[in-house]
Homo-oligomer: A and B are copies of this chain.
Amino acid sequence: MLIVMETSAPKKAIDNVCKLIEEMGLSAHPMPGAQRTAIGVTGNKSQIDSDRIMTQAGVREIIHVTKPYKLVSREFYPEPSVIEVGDVKIGGPEFIIMGGPCAVENREQTLIIAEAVSKAGAKVLRGGAYKPRTSPYSFQGLKEDGLKILAEARDKFGLKIVTEAIDTETIDLVSDYADIVQIGARNMQNYSLLKKAGRQKKAVLLKRGFAATVEELLMAAEYIMAEGNSKVILCERGVRTFADHTRNTLDLSAVPFVKRTSHLPIIVDPSHGTGRKEKVIPLSRAAIAVGADGLIIEVHHDPANALSDGPQSISPEMFEQLVHEMSTLAGVLGRTCG
């Protein structure tokens, strides 16, 4: 940590800060400069709570050097984690594609789509039984009935299932049915939910919040890991910016940043990341090329009648085309797919 003093800070203020640092069990290294003094701090094993220092007289700014995350950090686990969900391995050489409807609407719809994505080469079926919707008057999901339909689809087509948990009251039920429990973007900093996700045994797919930095995404994963569950898969799904040609701005640079900073796998959601079906395939190609470990894609056989997110859902035919393109690209990128 580095403490930057005001240019006007008197020697006494500098001494006081140094004294406080020593009291905290750390070492202070004052560096008098031409304009001002900076004080280096060493001896800390984790990030120091700097608020106390910030409020001292004469302190202008605090600069953290040590990052606040531990368990998610590549400095902690130097090798990439491979998350095993049965025989599906996420974070290894295989590029994993998850596909399915935005929402489980009924048994027939889900089984049709599950069969299609399975045949096309998806390993995981996505589908929401609990749906967080901006409006209280929109369809909110089939709840446990939806989970049962997903479980049936899993058994029938040999897929794993990923589905969202939206609150602490229902996450245990979701966990009973799911292979991977999804935490959505709106809940990325719902810490009670993260803690419960960390106390159940299934893998967790954690989506980046609309306005979350990548560091905050990693800290949210740290909440899950700190409770004992290390099977966390991160997901870039676009952030909010002024740009209005897409629903969100997909931040693909998050992928190489996460790969360098953390050992956790990261996948990309180009359906929410763009909000328009005609951009799903181009951005999927970009995602595998930038180094992501997989995709999660909204697919609907009859988007005109989908109960949610029709405009960003691709057809089973486009999904087949997508898997085909991923497979070709995987071949020249040193990975496998499909």
Binding site for B on A (CB under 8 A): 2, 4, 7, 29, 31-36, 38, 40, 42-47, 49, 51-52, 54-56, 61, 63, 65-66, 68-69, 75, 132-138, 166-170, 186-187, 189-193, 195, 209-211, 213-216, 219, 222-223, 226, 239-246, 249-257, 260, 273-274, 278-279, 282-283, 285-291, 303-311, 313, 328-329, 331-333
Contact = CB atoms under 8 A, between A and B. Distances in A.
Closest 6 CB pairs of A and B: A211-B211, A167-B192, A51-B310, A289-B289, A285-B289, A286-B286
Contacts of A278: 256, 260
Given A54-B310, A211-B211, A40 B35 contact: no
Contacts of A170: 192
A256 to B, nearest CB: 4
Nearest to A184: B189
A32, A69, A239, A242, most chain B CB atoms within 10 A: A242
A253 B279 contact: yes
A46, A187, A331, most chain B CB atoms within 10 A: A187
B240 A246 contact: no
A282 B256 contact: yes
Contacts of A65: 2, 4, 33, 36, 38, 61, 63
B35 A66 contact: yes
A136 B226 contact: yes
B2 A63 contact: yes
A259 to B, nearest CB: 8
B186 A211 contact: no
Contacts of A306: 51-52, 55
B42 A32 contact: yes
A166 to B, nearest CB: 6
A34, A56, A216, most chain B CB atoms within 10 A: A34
Contacts of A222: 135-136
Contacts of A245: 213-215, 253-254, 257
Contact of A189 (B132, B138, B309): B132
Contact of A49 (B138, B253, B286): B138
Contacts of A195: 136
B253 A283 contact: yes
Contact of A40 (B29, B134, B168, B256): B29
A55 B306 CA distance: 9
A55 B135 contact: no
A254 B287 CA distance: 15
B244 A55 contact: no
A243 B252 contact: no
Given A43-B33, A68-B135, A290-B283, A274 B249 contact: no
22 contacts: A33-B65, A38-B40, A40-B40, A51-B303, A55-B306, A132-B189, A134-B189, A135-B219, A135-B222, A136-B222, A136-B223, A168-B169, A169-B192, A186-B189, A213-B242, A240-B242, A249-B253, A250-B252, A250-B253, A256-B283, A260-B278, A285-B291
